């Protein structure tokens, strides 16, 4: 931020401009982060004519949730930007699971992206979100790829592309930006609640760490670690892609070319193999397949009721199960 202005990096701006003429969906809750993102896209770029605002009303706070939707609707109308408002069905339910609400929200986003024939979704994740997400995922037990998942541009395996222009800015910086420009936003009272894990991390864990280790700033240390892990993840990704391309032929993996590879590479190769065949390899199944592979014995494992993963000792391949004819 300089002189009250938040600017996109030249790399990210070039990327967004290169996506023309596709529409750019902007997720906007009406909160300070998404209002800063929308303001940036409207005033700081030449992309205005390609923007579509998407707002999802979770319906968890009654009139306050409806007020957020009205706020985004009116603001978009004033700016002459198309807006689509989605709403979760059912009664007001303030205690719904955070993951469930996120799934509802992104189902709406994905449905609208498909309707608009665009893969691009812009979200207002910021530097605070990076720190909180890192700690939450660390507690859940994830790979290095999971720890560095929030990236400025993320190409998803389903073809969608998430763009996060605000990752280098803190929430306080974004609010200062809005205040200096007299841009309003909506406060979500549930952000102060400790019902959800993210809020407990934000309001209890991070302040406690700062108290326990005042000489070691959590944010800068964690971001340094994340940058190093990102380098590792990119290197592993490149090595895994090369290994996969060498071993993959006619929808099969040649085991002889995988024998000396470390587990970190094998795990990624197995994921790439399933993606190439149109499937996402879940963590539990990946662990199971790796254990069977290391036993050096042939195996058959059910992936779905219609699909089996088979190893004959020389190759690994997916076999479609024959269904019995109905009578």
What confidence score (pLDDT) does residue 28 get? 97
The 10s digit of each residue's pLDDT in 206-217 is 999 888 888 888
Are 187 and 289 in a shared domain? no
Q: Calculate mean pLDDT across residues 264-292.
A: 93
Are 137 and 89 in a shared domain? yes
Q: Whole-angstrom Cα distance, residue 113 to residue 10?
A: 25
Tell me the two tokens of residue 2. 């300089």
First and final C-alpha spacing in the chain: 70
Distances (CA, A) of 281 to 65, 221, 309, 325: 37, 32, 11, 29
Of the listed ranges 137-151, 208-222, 253-267, 312-326, the least confidently predicted one is: 312-326
1: in domain: no
What confidence score (pLDDT) does residue 180 get? 94
Q: Give me the half-sphere count of Cα atoms (radius 13 Å) on the Cβ side of residue 314.
A: 1
String of b and e for 301-311 (b: at least 16 CB within 10 Å)? eebeeebbbeb
44: in domain: yes
Domain boundary among 195, 212, 229: 212
What confidence score (pLDDT) does residue 327 get? 42
231: in domain: no
Q: Whole-angstrom Cα distance, residue 7 to residue 13?
A: 9
Count structural domains, the chain.
2
Tell me the two tokens of residue 224. 């340094």
The 10s digit of each residue's pLDDT in 55-92 is 999 888 888 999 999 999 999 999 999 999 999 876 55
User: Residue 48: which CATH number?
Assistant: 3.40.50.620
Q: Whole-angstrom Cα distance, residue 119 to residue 189?
A: 32
Are 292 and 206 in a shared domain? no
Are 205 and 254 in a shared domain? no
Among 26, 81, 29, CA closest to 58: 29
204: in domain: yes
SS3 at position 112: helix
**How crowded is residue 325: how many other Cβ atoms within 10 Å of its Cβ?**
5
User: Residue 294: which CATH number?
Assistant: 3.30.465.60
Are 205 and 259 in a shared domain? no
Range of the domain at 180: 10-212
315 forms beta bridges with 254
What confidence score (pLDDT) does residue 323 get? 61
What confidence score (pLDDT) does residue 324 get? 52
162: in domain: yes
What confidence score (pLDDT) does residue 3 get? 44
148: in domain: yes
- Please indicate whether residue 325 or residue 199 has the higher confidence score (pLDDT): 199
Q: Calculate mean pLDDT across residues 181-193.
A: 86
Are 143 and 206 in a shared domain? yes
Are 188 and 307 in a shared domain? no
Are 150 and 196 in a shared domain? yes
Are 169 and 46 in a shared domain? yes
Strand ranges across the sheet with 315-320: 248-249, 252-254, 315-320, 307-311, 299-304
Domain boundary among 194, 212, 230: 212
Are 54 and 173 in a shared domain? yes
Mean pLDDT, the chain, whole residue set? 90
Are 121 and 270 in a shared domain? no
Tell me the two tokens of residue 138. 């660390």
120: in domain: yes
325: in domain: no
- pTM, full prediction: 0.84
Are 170 and 307 in a shared domain? no
153 forms beta bridges with 163
Domain boundary among 185, 212, 239: 212
């Amino acid at each position: 931020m300089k002189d009250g202005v938040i600017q996109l990096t030249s790399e990210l701006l070039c990327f967004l401009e290169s996506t023309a003429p596709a529409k750019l969906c902007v997720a906007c809750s009406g909160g300070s982060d998404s209002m800063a993102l929308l303001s940036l896209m409207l005033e700081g770029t030449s992309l205005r004519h390609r923007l579509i605002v998407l707002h999802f009303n979770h319906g968890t706070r009654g009139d306050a949730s409806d007020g957020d939707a009205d706020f985004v609707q009116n603001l978009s109308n004033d700016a002459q930007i198309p807006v689509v408002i989605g709403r979760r069905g059912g009664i007001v339910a303030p205690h719904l699971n955070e993951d469930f609400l996120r799934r509802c929200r992104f189902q709406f986003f994905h449905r609208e992206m498909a309707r608009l024939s665009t893969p691009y979704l812009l979200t207002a994740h910021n530097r605070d979100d990076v720190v909180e997400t890192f700690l939450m995922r660390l507690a859940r037990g994830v790979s290095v790829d999971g720890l560095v998942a929030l990236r400025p541009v993320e190409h998803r395996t389903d073809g969608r592309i998430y763009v996060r222009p605000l990752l280098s800015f803190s929430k306080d910086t974004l609010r200062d930006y809005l205040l200096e420009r007299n841009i309003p936003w909506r406060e979500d009272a549930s952000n102060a609640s400790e019902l959800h894990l993210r809020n407990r991390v934000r309001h209890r864990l991070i302040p406690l760490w700062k108290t326990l280790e005042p000489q070691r700033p959590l944010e800068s240390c964690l971001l340094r670690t994340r940058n190093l892990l990102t380098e590792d993840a990119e290197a592993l990704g490149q090595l895994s892609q090369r290994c996969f391309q060498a071993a993959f032929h006619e929808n099969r993996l040649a085991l002889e070319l995988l024998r000396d590879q470390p587990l970190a590479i094998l795990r990624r190769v197995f994921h790439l193999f399933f993606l190439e065949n149109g499937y996402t390899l879940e963590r539990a199944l990946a662990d199971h397949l790796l254990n069977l592979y290391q036993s050096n014995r042939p195996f058959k494992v059910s992936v779905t009721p219609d699909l089996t993963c088979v190893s004959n000792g020389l190759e690994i391949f997916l076999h479609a199960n024959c269904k019995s004819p109905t009578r």
